[in-house]
Structure 1
Amino acid sequence: RDIKITKDQLKASMKTEYFNEETGVGATKHGVPLGCLTVRLILVEGIKRKPENISVILQLKGTKQDQAVQPGPSPQISRPATAGKEKGQLQFNQQFTMAPVKTQDAELILDIMDKKATPKRQGSAHVMLRELADQQEHDRHLIIQKRSATTGRMEVTNSRLYVKLKFTYSKIVPLKAQIFALQDRKRQAEREITLRRLGQISDDTA
């Protein structure tokens, strides 16, 4: 019964959505991508700057070299930080919705900016969208990297960026996975019943 219900839900979803295997993102029948990234920007630790000067720029960048199309909407910028409860914390508690996201082959880049500093970028953190492919909410403590003034290369710092992330891109994908899981469970149950019956027959004929 559960399999039938889920199959009915899948049929209904397939009337309004098709899944693009190339991009890994569902789209409406009119071709509008369904990818949506929700970012809850919580706080930054380890960057000793005045909170009112600090903001975060969020943007999506493609991870394929031949990617000609921008993977998502224009960059967004946070409001300035406030002082956190503990020393060295920059509090944000701001939520962002980035849509439409056109592909899973992208990464979210978060640049920590100080409007009074030179250079303004105080560090960057990133996360690959494919790491969020289960369409569940994730708590992440992201490592902040900063460009070295001497080598010009990005180096790991002790600073951290705390975020909550959820990337949704298809109703079809989880329904298909649910059907496969239910079918597998059914096969396992049928196998156990068969084995028990065979065992009973063996006992009866012994």
Structure 2
Amino acid sequence: MGNPITVTNLTCHHGGHPAVDTVSLSAAPGQVTALVGANGSGKSTVLMALAGLLRPTSGVISGRPGSIAFVPQRSSAPDHLPITVRQVVAMGRWNLRGPFARLGEDDRAVIDDCLGRVRIHDLASRRLGSLSGGQRQRALVAQGLAQHSELLLLDEPLAGVDVRAAEDIAAAIESERSRGTTIVMATHESTQAERADHVVRLHQGGPTAQ
């Protein structure tokens, strides 16, 4: 894997108002960096900037790798969209191969593996819109895992999941850390934050004293 990702004095605005103000952090390969704070503290904004989905107002992000997987807290796909759980996870391979690529046997093996890692093999043929919040979150995490990215960004991966799902998702994150992936996640779960290598605490868009 590559070099650490460094964020220096990151500032982002939404609608003319500061969402993140002078946040700095360093995230290294094979380590988990946890962004901790209340709702509205700027955690998701930092993740979106790291993913390249939001242009910072100021500040510098250096060392960002070419392959990035972003796992949102909830899917933006409408409930009526006729897409199955397996297709959702397969999108992770399309993100890697390209939208018009034909997935091969190796890709299908990765999809099966990721479904198994978060224990949703039995849901593979179900429509995404029919799932509970926790089941949907597992599917989104599996999609992120399927990308085999150098940087894995997770927005509240344990939100709305039961104890078993939380254990499976935590184990998958630990496996990615062992693989050498750089992991940055937003969380309000104290146990999850305690397992991280580094914790960045945010309050109203800015860093708090450690």
Greater Rg by CA? 1
Higher helix share: 2
Report which structure shows greater RCO (CA 8 Å, sep ≥6): 2
Higher strand share: 1
With the shorter chain as reference, the TM-score category is: under 0.3
